Structures are given as C-alpha cells and as structure tokens.
Structure 1
Amino acid sequence: MAWILCVLLFSAVGLALLVLQVKLRAAVRGRGGPPRLPELPVIGSLLSLRGDRPPHVLFQELQATYGETYSLMMGSHSAVIVNHHMHATEVLLKKGRTFAGRPRTVTTDVLTRDGKDIAFGDYSPTWRFHRKIVHRALRMFGEGSASIEKIICRESQFLCGVMCEATSRGMALDLSPELTRAVTNVICSLCFSSSYRRGDPEFEAMLRYSQGIVDTVAKDSLVDIFPWLQVFPNAGLRLLKECVAVRDKLLQKKYNEHKADYSDHVQRDLLDALLRAKRSADNHNTAHPGAEALGLSDDHMLMTVGDIFGAGVETTTTVLKWAVAYLLHHPQVQQRIQQELDTKVGLDRTPKLSDRGCLPYLEATIREVLRIRPVAPLLIPHVALTDTSIGGFRIRKGARVIINLWSLHHDEREWENPERFDPGRFLNKEGTGLVLPSPSYLPFGAGVRVCLGEALSKMELFLFLSWILQRFTLSVPAGQEPPSLEGKFGVVLQPAKYKVNAVPRPGWEAN
C-alpha cells in the first residue's frame, strides 16, 4: 500500500510542477515572448521533435503551426528558432554583438579545449583579442591571393592526374577521398608548409578523425542537452574524444616543430604568422600592465589551427561533393559550364582566379549549390548576452538562437521553386552577370560570427571545379543510380557516398 501512496504522491508533485511550468511559460508568452512548443518538466520540448526528419527540415515545417520565429526547450535550455531572413539579419547584423555569445556544450568543449577556439568560443574580451590576432595573421600571410592560388592550382593538377589515372583503367572513381586530400593539402600548405601523398598514414588518420568529429560533435545529442549523462558510458562521446586526441597529437607535433625553428626573419606559413602575431601581442601586453589578462595560450593557437582545418577542409570538401552530385543529376548545367570555359578560357591554359568575372554561369552554379544544400543548415547557435528582442519578441539573456539556414534558402516567398536546382536564378536577364535575387541567402553566415574560411573556400570551389570541368565530363557509372540528394545531417550536411565516371574532354586526353 505504501508504494501506491508514493506513486500517487510523485504523480501529484509532477503534475503540479507541470502546471506551474506551463503557467510560467504562458506568462512569458504573455509578456511578448515568441510562440513556444509544448514542453514537459526536465525533457522540455523533445517529444515535439520526434521523428525521422532532420532538425532543419522539422524546424522549417513547424513554422506552419508556430510562425517564422518560435521557441522551444531543449532540456532546461531555451532555444529560439529563426526561419526568416529579416529576423536572421537582425540577429547576425543589426544586433550582432548582442547575439554574439556561444553556448557551452559537452561535445564542443571536448573539441575546443573548453572554448579556446574562434568558431565555438564564447564572446568575451579574450575572444575579441584572439580573433584580432587571427585576422592579423591572415593579413600577414597571403593578403594577396597569388600564393594561395598557386597552391590550389597545384592541388587541382594532382587531382586531375588521379582522375586521368582512374579513367585509363576504366574505373569509376569515388571522388570523396581525392577531394578531401586536395583540400587538406591546401590547408596543410597554408598552415604548415607541408602536404600529403596518397596512402600517407598521417593523412589516413586525419580522414578517420575528421569523419568521427563530423559524426559526433554539435548535433544536439542527449549528452549536450543533459550534460550529467556524460558520467555514463557513451559511445559517441568516447569516439569524439578518441578522434580529438588523434587531431591534437598531429597539431601539437606541427606546432612544436614550428616553435623550435621559428625565426622573426622568415615567414613560411600561417602558423609562423600566428606565432609572430602572438609574440607581438605578448610583448605589447608586457609593455602595458593589465593587458596580460587577454593573453592567449598555446591551446588558443592550436585550436585556431583546428578551426582552420574544420572550416577549410570539411566544409569545402562537402560543397564540392554536393556540386558534383548535382552536376550528375543535371548534365545540361555541366555542359553549359563547359561551353563557358571553352569560350572564355579555351584549351591553351588552365583557369585562374582572375577568370571569375568572365565565368558567371560557373559562379552562379556554385552559389546555387550553396543555396540548395547549405553546408551547415543550422548555423552554430548564438546566445543572447543581454535581454533583447527579435522581431518584436522579447528574448531573455542566455537564450540560444538558432538560424535555420535551410528555411532561409528554401523559402517559397523568396525563391521560385526552391527545390529546383537552377543556377540561372543568380544571373541577370542577359545571363552575363551575377545577381543576388534575395536577401535570404547567407551561406557563410554574417556579422561578428561570419565564417573565417569564406574567402578561401570560394577560391577553392571556383578553381577545383573549373579545372575539373575544363578537362573532364562527369557522368553516372553504367548500371548505377544518380547519387542521393537527401544528405546526412551533422555539423555539416554530407551527401551519401557515390562514384563517378570522368571522361577526358577533347584536347585533354593526354593531360
């Protein structure tokens, strides 16, 4: 009998807490908060987020019930979902500093040594100082794009050589590891003055750790929603820690080598530029007592390079894989790009960055790929640093704000037939120049937290695709279906694996 009384007592307490919480939330809405999904004690709104649809699609669909901007509870954390460009612009640009915070989660803390990077680090004086140093280093190394272009073209040449080799053997090719190595070598050349050959054990280890991180970090897993769960065995968290350990071992090795033979008189790469900027800042802090509180540790430098790898490898490689997948589905788009290349570049030379202005259809195609399959459909969450508002809705300090880039890029009010792949939407009526048809296009984010790798990524996308399409016609291997366009949700939206036939175009058979 006693156990029945206990059950009734706990049920009564639970019901009372539920009613109280509902009333409190209703009071918040009454004071001007955004519409909120139903919620329960402890678990919040998780029951409303069930199903097999990825979060960005589900969040888009929930607009029909709750409006363009609404809120929900992820466990004990309040999250505001923004699905329209006007509110997204308010968060990112008009109130960029107000919403510049980042949430602390278990997985991102593991990835970044408790937020000592740029992408996931919380907004603070130290973060601003850190970002300033990184920008200074980027200016010191390769402010002009000539050296970067040379590196990308070198890797494009190697990539095309691998494709030729596969063609000569009559083999369909999985471009994923080849694209990953090419992009990785660009970043390694920029950061460490080094590169990898096929089959290099260190490169293979890098491939494994990168995929492990993509599969486990920042996916709103239960351990991020309920941090106390990390005391229990967790396969995903264990995998993440193992992958981060492999990454950090590699980065530490490169960092130690650079520190050992660093010289103020020679600047070999971006890591040298970072070390120089850090030493200059440290000297300034020594000369100005009180400034040392903003000093950056070696961990900050390592996590900065980790950021550059994350932004510069996984995202760019993913966009390239999506671009090839869509070209396989739309051979007429591929043909038009090749016609443009034949007319404006020809066969006498390879494409250069200076050709971007005269290859508008290729540029439009890249923009359309970034629109229809945004590499990060949910931008990294922001945090409100003060009580504020979005679109007239009151937002409390500490609330997480998620920009649903998928909704912005698939808004039927902004894009005609948004599910249709149509590079022409980014061209003027004559097809001779680029246009931005809607402000609802933010593939790299905007404002204070804009993606660090945006400029480099755009250069790589243009050069890799122009080199490949100048030399090869890509097609689906005989007997196989075109690649799936669904995508696998994670920290980036990855396409499923697929293979491609690459046939050398006339004039490039021997190259």
Structure 2
Amino acid sequence: MFPVLKYVPEVLARWKQVAKSIRENQRGFYYMTLDFAKKEVAENSASDRATADKHESLMAKILRERENGKAVFDDDELAYLGGGLVDAATDTTLSTGLTFVKTLAAHPHIMKRAQGEVDALRNSDSPPRSEDIAEMPFLTACLLEILRWRPAAPTLVPRLLESDNVVGGYHLEKGTVVIQNTWAINHDPEHYEDPAVFNPDRFLSNPYGTKMSAEQAKAMGRKQSYLFGLGRRRCPGDLFARNAVLIAIAKLLWAFDIIATETIDMSIENGFHGGLAIGPEAFKTDFVPRSPKHRQGLLDDFQRLSQLIE
C-alpha cells in the first residue's frame, strides 16, 4: 500500500523485526515437515516397498516421484506445501474441537445422550477407536451440526473464475473473484428449520439436515457440510478432519463428565470471536473422570498410542 516504507531501516521499524522473526519461525517449522518427509523416504527405502507405498505420506510420495523425475517441486515449494497443509488444518480443527467441547458443556442433556452412545461400544471397557466411528451416529450428527451452526471458516478462500459462468441466474465474467459465504449457506432459513438453534437431531432424520427430504437435497446437489468447500479444489482433509474431531470428542466423553463451572455464553455475538476462523471465547469447565476405571483406561490408551507421536 505504501511502497516507500520498504526504505525505512529495520532498526526504526519494529514491525519489520517482528515480520522477520515470524518468517524465520515459519520457515523453520515448514522445513521441519520437509525433513520428516525426507526421513520417511529414507526409512521406507530400507523397508518392504509394498508396505512403504501403502503407508506413505503425501510429501514422501512427492519426494520419491521427484527422484524419479515425475514431480518438479523444489525444496522451498515442498516445504511450504507441507507447512501450508498443517497451517490449514490446525486452526480450523482446534476451533471445531473447542466449539464442540463448549457446546457439550452448555447442553448437558446432549452430553449425556452422546455418552450413552459411546458407552454402548464394546461394553465400554476401553476408550473408543477410529473403527467405532460408524457406530456413533448421534455424535456424528452433533459434529455435522457444529460444522453448520458454528463453522470454523465462515467464508472460504477466494477463487478466480477462469471463464465466464452463470451461477443462480447471475452472469459472472472471467476474472471475477468469488468467495463462498459458508455462514449464509448454513443459516439460510429457506433450507434449515430454526437455523440459529443447535439441533443435532436434524442430521439424524435427514443426512443433509435440511427441511427438504434427503432425496430432494441429493437431487439438488447439496452437501452435508460446506465448510470444506466445493468442487475439485475442495479441502482434501475433509474426512480426516471430521474423524480426528469425532474420535477425540468420543474419548473425552468416554473418560470425563464435562461440567460447566459458570454460565456459558453460546451467542455468536459474545460467545465467539471472529477473524479468518471463528473460535469460542474462553469458557470454564471441569473435566471430571467418570470412574477410576475410566481414568486408568485413558492412561492405558495413551501408552498404546504414544509410539505414534514419538
């Protein structure tokens, strides 16, 4: 906006010092993802190739294709690809998880109902696992309602039209910048009954949560969630993000009662903050272990999974 500012000495411009520090930290983190990928390639090369291919990460796969001349990413591009993917997933997934916890604390009857579903898994002898997700329709409905009611990304990243197009009767010329208004889609009273109300049951009676029938919604091309975008450039982490939040919340519900210690404000005006991502304002809750058995079960589960994060 003001090109002349680039001539201001760094010693007189604290914002330049801050920007430089942020860039250094960012590049250090991004290159850490690249180093992990290179280590993975080296370890996979020394193991069975079939196994390596089956469990290979995206960055490791690109590195291997680069060695074979099939990919043209340089180290900078690949580091920023990996770091960008992590950045895109971290804030939105964290925000969704915190909103989920806050909502359960504010709706104890919903929490108890979800706990009942989780307790029915394998006689509740151990915390839920990823293979149990299909057996948790109510918790899944709660997540879909969270994604609709308080989407972490109220608007998605801009898109530039490569050709003329017609959308909803409006002619859009090539070069037009289009932004998906997720919030408006999710709170459209024409399609959702009482859109301002948190009601996961809407997704139990209809997988799209809409007033219209599931058959009509499918015929219209509607989606269960618009948070992850549409078309060929929609977020590739859709299923991973949903499952990550679901299994995390399921484990919390299995092990703890989530009890609000003060009145929780769930209004969008005061209970949440805006920005690139919507997130809940601070709230106070207690996580009370449901029994010594549940406490020990969670510790055992941590020990079982800790090798994955070492």
Give the TM-score, by structure 1 length.
0.48
Q: What does the per-residue CA deviation read over 1:190-231, in whole Å, with 9 as the maximum and x for residues that have no partner? A: xxxxxxxxxxxxxxxxxxxxxxxxxxxxxxxxxxxx585975
- Please tell me the root mean square deviation across aligned C-alpha atoms, in Å: 3.0
CA–CA distance in 2 between the matches of 1:281 and 1:399? 35
Residue 445 (structure 1) shift: 1.2
Maintained 8 Å contact 2:133/2:243:
no
Distance 1:380 1:254, change over 3 A: closer
2:264 matched residue in structure 1: 482
CA–CA distance in 2 between the matches of 1:273 and 1:354? 23
Maintained 8 Å contact 2:155/2:181:
yes
2:299 matched residue in structure 1: none
Picking from 62, 76, 80, the partner of 1:277 is 62
Identity %: 24
Secondary structure at 1:452's aligned position in 2?
Answer: coil
Maintained 8 Å contact 2:228/2:238:
yes
CA–CA distance in 2 between the matches of 1:262 and 1:232? 44
Kindly indicate whether residue 230 of structure 2 is the aligned counterpart of residue 446 of structure 1: yes
Maintained 8 Å contact 2:115/2:253:
yes
Secondary structure at 2:152's aligned position in 1?
Answer: coil
Structure having the higher Rg: 1
1:344 matched residue in structure 2: 121
Kindly indicate whether residue 247 of structure 2 is the aligned counterpart of residue 463 of structure 1: yes
Maintained 8 Å contact 2:187/2:196:
yes
Residue identity matched to 2:289:
P
1:319 matched residue in structure 2: 96
Q: What does the per-residue CA deviation read over 1:156-186, in whole Å, with 9 as the maximum and x for residues that have no partner? A: xxxxxxxxxxxxxxxxxxxxxxxxxxxxxxx
Residue 321 (structure 1) shift: 0.3
Kindly indicate whether residue 269 of structure 2 is the aligned counterpart of residue 493 of structure 1: no
Distance 1:448 1:238, change over 3 A: farther
Residue identity matched to 1:465:
I
Q: Which of the pair has the greater relative contact order for Cα pairs under 8 Å at 6+ separation? A: 1
- Any gaps of 5 or more consecutive residues in structure 1? 1-225, 286-293, 429-433
Distance 1:271 1:298, change over 3 A: farther
Distance 1:241 1:419, change over 3 A: farther
Q: What does the per-residue CA deviation read over 1:33-81, in whole Å, with 9 as the maximum and x for residues that have no partner? A: xxxxxxxxxxxxxxxxxxxxxxxxxxxxxxxxxxxxxxxxxxxxxxxxx
CA–CA distance in 2 between the matches of 1:236 and 1:332? 49
CA–CA distance in 1 between the matches of 2:139 and 2:5? 47
Residue 386 (structure 1) shift: 2.0
Maintained 8 Å contact 2:99/2:280:
yes
Maintained 8 Å contact 2:34/2:59:
no
| Map 1:384-423 → 2, pairs under 5 A | 384-423=161-200
Residue identity matched to 1:248:
R
| Map 1:46-195 → 2, pairs under 5 A | none
2:46 matched residue in structure 1: 265
Residue identity matched to 1:443:
L
**What count of residue pairs does the alignment treat as equivalent?**
271
CA–CA distance in 2 between the matches of 1:241 and 1:413? 48
Q: What does the per-residue CA deviation read over 1:416-448, in whole Å, with 9 as the maximum and x for residues that have no partner? A: 1111010000002xxxxx622333641211211
Residue identity matched to 2:91:
E
Maintained 8 Å contact 1:337/1:469:
yes
Maintained 8 Å contact 2:117/2:138:
yes
Distance 1:367 1:258, change over 3 A: closer
Secondary structure at 2:235's aligned position in 1?
Answer: coil
Secondary structure at 1:475's aligned position in 2?
Answer: strand
Residue 454 (structure 1) shift: 1.2
CA–CA distance in 1 between the matches of 2:16 and 2:278? 20
Secondary structure at 1:324's aligned position in 2?
Answer: helix
Secondary structure at 1:460's aligned position in 2?
Answer: helix
- Any gaps of 5 or more consecutive residues in structure 2? 211-221, 297-310
Distance 1:484 1:239, change over 3 A: farther
CA–CA distance in 1 between the matches of 2:116 and 2:147? 22
Q: What does the per-residue CA deviation read over 1:455-510, in whole Å, with 9 as the maximum and x for residues that have no partner? A: 21111111101100011111112xx3314543222221121122310111146464
